[in-house]
Structures are given as structure tokens and as C-alpha cells.
Amino acid sequence: MTYRAGIATRTRILEASRSLLAEGGLEAATVKAICVRAEVMPGSFYNLFKSKEEAVLTVVRDAIAAVEPVAVGPEESVADLVNAFVRFVNTEPVIARVYLIMAVSGGVTDPTIRKRVLRHHQARVERFSNSLQRLYPKIGADGANQRAEALVAALTGYALHAILDPDFDLAKHAEGLLQL
């Protein structure tokens, strides 16, 4: 297999894994289903991935990276972080769905996924907390952390609502969080 063909096959496998995860969670993303969707033979799959778990973890890693807004510098505001999350959910609904499904179902059943999701969650809370402390210097670290946890939880809940209900106005509700 040439290098370019290998990259194309890997891309098809990851796209198939992503779509199966978004449609039906971990149970739907079997090696057989991935191979059928990607139009590859199982041997090609195993040439590129050791297991289904490796392919799934690659999709999870990509989803986690996609949900995290690019840092706008040390002065990123709470509004910057909220708006980046809304933009992600609105422009990448399949990846957002994979992220949420993997955070819930994969995080409960797979210790490796749980560890990655929790590490990512803590990093998001920390970014929000740092922004809140800059915005409200008297809030203190504990107060900023509690508020950051609430903001991240609310945004995640709003994202879930937006994925389930296409008429839900994620941007409007997220903007309301900034007024609290």
C-alpha cells in the first residue's frame, strides 16, 4: 500500500468510525461495521489500527481537540470561550455529537476514554476559571472554579439540547449564560 493510499484508507476508517459513533455509540462502531462503511477489508483496518478501541480513541482525541477553542492568548475572555464552543457545536455537529456520546457512554464504560474526557473537562474548567478570575478579581480561586464548572456543565447541556432539537437556539441560550 502506498503512503497516499494508506492515508486515504486511514481517513475513510476514521470518518466511518466517527459517523457510526455519532449514529449509534460504541455498540454501533464494530470493526465489521467500520470496514463496511469505509469500504475496506478487515486486513486493511488492522494494518492501520491495532483494535477498534484504537480507532475509537483516535476519533475521541480528534473530537476533544475540536471542541477546545484555539487560545486567543492569555487574555481570552469568558465570552471568547463560550462563543468558541457555540461555533464548534454549530459548525461541527457530527463531531459535537461524537464528543458528547463518547463523553457519556464511553466515559462510563471505558477507563481510558473516561480519563481523557475528565482531563479535557478539567482543562476547560481551568480556562474558564482563569478568565473568570481576570474578569472578577475578587471572586477567588474557589469561586471562579465553581462558576467555571457551572458554565461548562450548562454549555454541555445546551449542546446536547441543540443536537437533539435543531430548533434550539444554542447561541441565544449561551449568551444568556454570560449575563449571569
pLDDT tens by residue, 84-143: 889 888 887 887 888 888 788 777 888 888 888 898 899 999 999 999 999 999 999 999
Residue with grid cell 478539567, as numbered in its chain:
122
| Percentage of residues of the chain with pLDDT beyond 90 | 50
Q: Span 34-39, mean pLDDT?
A: 97
Q: Report the distance separating Cα 178 and Cα 70, nearest Å.
A: 20
Q: Is the pLDDT of residue 1 over 70?
A: no
Task: Give me the pLDDT at residue 110, please.
Answer: 82
Q: How far apart are the first and last CA of the chain?
A: 56
Query: Which domains, and CATH codes, for the chain?
Result: 3-51 (1.10.10.60), 60-179 (1.10.357.10)
Q: Report the distance separating Cα 71 and Cα 130, nearest Å.
A: 12
Of 33, 36, 32, nearest to 24 by C-alpha is 33
Q: State the pTM of this model.
A: 0.75
Q: Report the distance separating Cα 151 and Cα 149, nearest Å.
A: 6
Task: Give me the pLDDT at residue 116, please.
Answer: 83
Q: Is the pLDDT of residue 24 over 80?
A: yes
Quick check: 81 and 131 in contact, CB under 8 A? yes
Q: Is the pLDDT of residue 145 over 70?
A: yes
| Percentage of residues of the chain with pLDDT beyond 70 | 95
Under DSSP, the state recorded for 50 is S
Of 91, 75, 103, nearest to 160 by C-alpha is 103
Q: Is the pLDDT of residue 72 over 60?
A: no
Report the residue count for the chain: 180
